[in-house]
Amino acid sequence: MSTVSVGLAGEAEVPACLALLPEARHSPAEFLIARHDGRLAGAAAVIWQSWAKPGGFPLRVHVMPAMRRQGVGRRLMAEAVGMTAGEAEGLWSLEPEPLESPAAAFLQACGFGLARRQHHFQASGEALDGAIAPLVARLRARGRIPAEARVVSLSEAPMEEVGWLVSAEFGGGPFRTLHNLRQRATRQGVSTEDLSQVVLLGTKVAAVLLGRMDHGVAVIDARVVAPDARGDWAGALQLDAILRWGLPRGVREFRFHCDDDVRDTLSLARRCNAREVAKTGLFYYALSAA
């Protein structure tokens, strides 16, 4: 009779777990490993660091394709819940998952609920420019854009300050964030070029836009405005900067996303006639309610 065993991964097993769960690299992760007749069947990573609100440790499960739909994922999840009970308020899915995906179905089958929903839009550069350029012109005319504001690329920006700002907004911890940012800043090539822009106010970071090219489309992965620079100018300036970069280079399409409750971006999507191309979600499991 074949058997599946699930337990905490030993040091020698961590590389195999990381091969299944590369998203957990550079994070303070604990790994669980599932074996089927002694062979690797799957793994789970729990990032030992509370994240977002409500508080919770991010986690991801990966089961080898040949071993799926046999309860291995559920076993790994049950073990992860047991391991973190009393240590964290809950568990978050590590990455946003498409709402209609097997991953979302699995998380919900394991008792996770949809906690944050993101809308992904795609708009033509021309339409986006039609919404942003007049806004920036109006802000300039009213003197709302500080004279010392300037936009630089990520590689020219003070990386540690950018790392803290991005990590405070999205979680994941400053070390993992900094590692990801450094990798991003050195990315080159036609389809993966980094487009990230940082708005500086004097020497201070006022806003960060993380962006990249994806097969001819400019993708905005994240936008953050520093708490003391909130208002409309910094966000408008960073969008304007990416348009000024992309339009002269023939980039026709831009992709961006936001949570359900970010009215400015939802309204921008409406104003530039953007198409909604996907919906993703972050899922949460409350341990206290377990």
Shortest separation between residue 272's beta carbon and ligand COA, angstroms:
32
Q: What Rg value do the Cα atoms of the chain yield, rounded?
A: 21
> By C-beta, is 21 or 151 nearer to ligand COA?
21
Nearer to ligand COA, 20 or 272 (CB): 20
Contacting positions for ligand COA (CB under 6 A): 60-63, 68-74, 93, 102-103, 105-107, 109
CB of 163 to ligand COA, least distance (A): 25
Q: Are 238 and 209 in contact (CB under 8 A)?
A: yes
Alpha helices (runs of H) in 142-232, residue ranges in sequence order: 159-170, 174-185
Instruction: Residue 99: count other Cβ atoms within 10 Å of its Cβ.
Output: 16
Give CA angle at 50 (44, 52), nearest 5°: 110
Q: Which residue is nearest to ligand COA (CB)?
A: 73
User: Rounded to whole angstroms, how far apart are CA atoms 223 and 240?
Assistant: 13
Work out whether strand 57-63 and strand 90-93 pair parallel, antiparallel, or are unpaired.
parallel
Q: Which helix (H) or strand (E) holds 127?
A: helix 125-141
Q: Minimum CB separation from ligand COA for residue 9, in Å?
A: 16
* Minimal distance, residue 61 CB to ligand COA, in Å: 4
Give the DSSP letter of residue 89.
S
**Nearest residue (CB) to ligand COA, 121 versus 283:** 283
Q: Which is nearer to ligand COA, 127 or 287 (CB)?
A: 287
Residue 47: CB minimum distance to ligand COA, A: 12
Which residue in 253, 247, 243 sits closest to 274, CA to CA? 253
| Pick 7 or 134: Cβ nearer ligand COA | 7
Task: For ligand COA, give the closer residue by CB, 60 or 184.
Answer: 60
Distance CA 128, CA 256 (A): 11
Q: How far is the CB of 64 from ligand COA (least distance, A)?
A: 8
Closest distance to ligand COA from the beta carbon of 46 (Å): 11
Residue 99 has φ and ψ, to the nearest 5°, of -65, -30
Report residue 83 as tokens. 């391991």
Phi-psi category of residue 60: left, alpha or beta, with phi > 0 → left and psi -120 to 50 → alpha: beta
Residue 244: DSSP 8-state: H
Report the residue number, 70 or 155, with the smaller CB distance to ligand COA. 70
